[in-house]
Amino acid sequence: MKKLFCIVTILIFCFYHCEISYSKTMPRVKQAVLEDMQTRYFNADDTESVMSAVLVTLYDSDYTIEDYNQDLGVIRVTKTLKASYTSKKRVAGWSVVLAAATAYTVFSYGATAASMYSPTRRIATEMKDKTVVIDANVYISQVDTNKVKVKFIPVEKVLQNADGFAFNQMAPVKVIRIYRPEPYNEFFNQVEAKLK
């Protein structure tokens, strides 16, 4: 009995460690570098033409306009897609729990077979493609008589698939700040192409 208690304690500790490590975000960059990636200046006499180009770009990129205020120069958009986000640590943690539940089921002659259901479903959920919601805010402001500033701030939220577990149907598993320059460059290049 003491061995079983020690094994269960070790498994809980390992699984708890996997949960914490999974929630860590990507390595951060310096605030000045991030600000530089998120901001671009366009040569334009008014904010209306830039805002129109931004709206067309967002629409072409399959974003849904959630809120739009031309006077304040603020646009809030969302985009939903499926992507593969599998945490090897979580899969390993639940595999250990499943192995322990299987061993316990064998020693109890099948009386605790139901204890294998939860880790099996969690492993299956972790292996599936996740729903990713990209929330983005765009701020547009006139800086000079012929210069308009556009700031684009996207955030990815990885959701678990709704497979019957109430706790993971819509709650974000991971919130990812985007520190790569490629998404920003692609967005601003499309806006610039539409301004010409």
Per-residue pLDDT of 44-63, as tens digits, reads: 888 899 999 999 999 999 99
Q: What is the pLDDT of residue 107?
A: 76
Cα distances from 46 to residues 143, 149, 188, 195, in angstroms, run 10, 11, 17, 12
pLDDT tens, residue by residue, 134-152: 899 999 999 888 899 999 9
Q: What is the pLDDT of residue 14?
A: 57
Which of 37-41, 43-47, 89-93 shows the highest mean pLDDT?
A: 37-41
The CA distance from 20 to 62, in Å, is: 33
Q: What is the pLDDT of residue 138?
A: 95
Residue 159 main-chain phi, psi, to 5 deg:
-105, 150
Where is pLDDT greater, at 6 or 72?
Answer: 72
Candidate from 46-50, 121-125, 145-149, 167-171 with smallest mean pLDDT:
167-171
Cα distances from 58 to residues 16, 40, 42, in angstroms, run 40, 16, 17
Q: What is the pLDDT of residue 162?
A: 46
The CA distance from 196 to 180, in Å, is: 26
pLDDT > 60? residue 4: no
Beta bridge partners of 75: 68, 138
The answer to whether the beta carbons of residues 168 and 94 sit under 8 Å apart is no
**pTM, full prediction:** 0.68
